[in-house]
Amino acid sequence: MSFIDQDAIELIKALPEALLITSEQGKIVYVNDALESLTEFSESDLVGKHVSHLMPSGERERLDVVAWFARWADNPDSHQLRYLSLNGVTKSGEELKFRVRVSAFVKEEESFFLVILQDITEEYQSTLDLRHAKLVSNRILAIGEDAVMTIDDEQHVRYWNKKAEEMFGYTTDEIIGKNFELLVPGSYAEKHRKQVSGFAKGTEASKLMGNRSEIKGLHKDGRVIPLEASITKTMVDGQLLISAQIRDITQRKQAEQALREKELRFRAVFENAVEAMALLSADGKILEFNSAAKDLLPNDEDPRGRDFWMLDWWAEPSEEVRLELKENVVRVSRGEVHRARAELPIGDKTHDIDFSLKAVTDSEGQVRYIIAEGRDLTNVGEST
């Protein structure tokens, strides 16, 4: 290093950044303390060696590092070169990632490269992890069961996944940049506009599906679609973006309507049946009671929630009678059918009741309900 004065050598040696100097052919002629600390190589390990000694063996064969030094040195401020890096290795074999800055200088008619190395291993791994997470997220969003869209502060669509294409009928190319109101029925446009504007200006960062009422969407073919949506807002580079996860609830609403229809049909049959009927849980609790059954009770008390065997139906409601009825309910809950005749005091007359208990099972054969049915045979007996 006779071509550099002692003061300069001491200054370079104390720099906090790892630094080395190579000949034009790539032979290392100087390393500072920071480079020794970073790479674990001593000055004697490196001086006189080719600079590729600091690279993994596979990288040495793949890359002409001196040619890269020359290119970087010719244009050290290139925007493209600013983000290039080299793979490095420590003396113990640990692989590192270096960001490299190179300048060339001539001393005593000989050319040299001054190379500064910055360890970006953790930064590089974080970038890889972020890219991987973004790739995974994008793929999940692309194939998810819910439509996902993002609009900007002017309510123009900025992101649109595959499910959104299927739900609304617009391809990504057709919808990106278009106003969000293209997806809203005309009669709801003003309401949606105010809701989105209010959310954008409000303090809430997100609103989940369960906390929002049903909204309406407009398909490309003109169909109105019942929807649920979760929304969230994010600032990206100073711009507000609102993202929505949207779910088509058409099938759910149809299922709910079908269930309501079934409930109406059940009520029509159950309430208007001539025979007294009660629906019990598998353990004998009264769930439903029809009008004919209520007529057999001695008072107007609502029996729902009570144990079936505790009703004051029986002519002699003794503990023995109640226990027998309870045992019958238990047997029926195991899948048996019970049928008997019973005497019930109604008003000033005892009625002869044909009484039955029958289990109702689910698709797996488990008893879910018990139907109690009673037919008054008193008048039938009198007519014969």
pLDDT tens digits, residue range 337-378?
888 777 776 667 777 788 889 998 888 888 899 998 888 787
| Distance of alpha carbon 310 from alpha carbon 324, whole angstroms | 11
Residue 221 phi, psi dihedral angles, 5° rounding: -85, 5
Type and span of the H or E element at 329: helix 319-333
What CATH number does domain 6-125 carry, 3.20.20.390, 3.40.50.80, 3.40.220.10, 3.30.450.20?
Answer: 3.30.450.20
Between CA 126 and CA 39 the distance in angstroms is: 21
Dist. CA 262–CA 274, nearest whole Å: 20
Amino acid at site 67: A
Phi, psi of 275 (to 5 degrees): -75, 150
Rounded to two decimals, what is the model's pTM? Answer: 0.48
Give the amino acid at 69: F
Reading the block at residue 84, the tokens are 């290039």
What topology is assigned to 141-252 in CATH?
A: Beta-Lactamase (3.30.450)
DSSP 249: -
Q: How far is CA 378 from CA 265, 275, 350, 353, 369, in A?
A: 30, 13, 8, 7, 28
Does 271-383 match 6-125 at the fold level?
A: yes
Nearest to 325 by CA among 381, 282, 363, 284: 284
Residue 246 CB: number of other CB atoms within 10 A? 24
Tokens describing residue 252: 């759910």
- With CA atoms as reference, report the closest residue to 180 among 247, 244, 238, 227: 244
Domain range list for the chain: 6-125, 141-252, 271-383
**Burial of residue 231 (number of CB atoms within 10 Å: 0-12, 13-18, 19+):** buried
**What is the model's pLDDT at position 316?**
59
> Cα separations (Å) of 286 from 276, 305, 371?
13, 5, 10
Task: Provide the pLDDT for residue 202.
Answer: 83
**Alpha carbon distance 371, 206 (integer Å):** 48
pLDDT value of position 22: 94
Question: Thinking of the domain 271-383, which architecture would CATH place it in?
Answer: 2-Layer Sandwich (3.30)
> Which ranges of the chain have pLDDT less than 50?
383-384
